[in-house]
Amino acid sequence: MRIARQTIVHPTAGMTQRVEAVLDELESTYSTFPGYILGFRYKSHTMVGPVGRLAIWRSLDDANHASGNTHVQALRSQLNNLIQGEHVEHVLEVEGAPQNLPE
């Protein structure tokens, strides 16, 4: 079953661009793993606030395998030093018939 993994973070003052760069590097790294379908970083266009990323995976096992990679863990550690509090992470089941989703 396809899943989406969403991460939401609140950058420390002045660290938004660095947080965005780390999230982009995470997506780039994740894209090299089996089961990765697509992913992207996002933020509000109307206010300063949280930054997030969303990745679609073929399965939860694929996503969990990638998360255990040492480079991924190092990037997530960097991210934790650039944000306020804890990051929020959601694992969501992809349901219905996704339109134009790559196989």
CA distance 83 to 51: 10
Helix (H, G, I), strand (E, B) or coil at 62: helix
Provide CATH code, domain 3-93.
3.30.70.100
Instruction: Kindly give the confidence (pLDDT) of every residue in the chain, 103 residues in length, as a single tens digit, with 9 standing for 90 and above.
Output: 899 999 999 999 999 999 999 999 999 999 999 999 999 999 888 777 899 999 999 999 999 999 999 999 999 999 999 999 888 899 999 887 767 766 6
What pLDDT was estimated at residue 66? 96
CA distance 15 to 64: 27
What pLDDT was estimated at residue 80? 93
- CA distances (Å), 15 to each of 12, 18, 19, 59, 84, in order? 5, 5, 6, 32, 10
| Spatial CA neighbour of 28 closest among 80, 66, 83 | 66
pTM above 0.85, yes or no: yes
**Domain-wise residue ranges, the chain:** 3-93
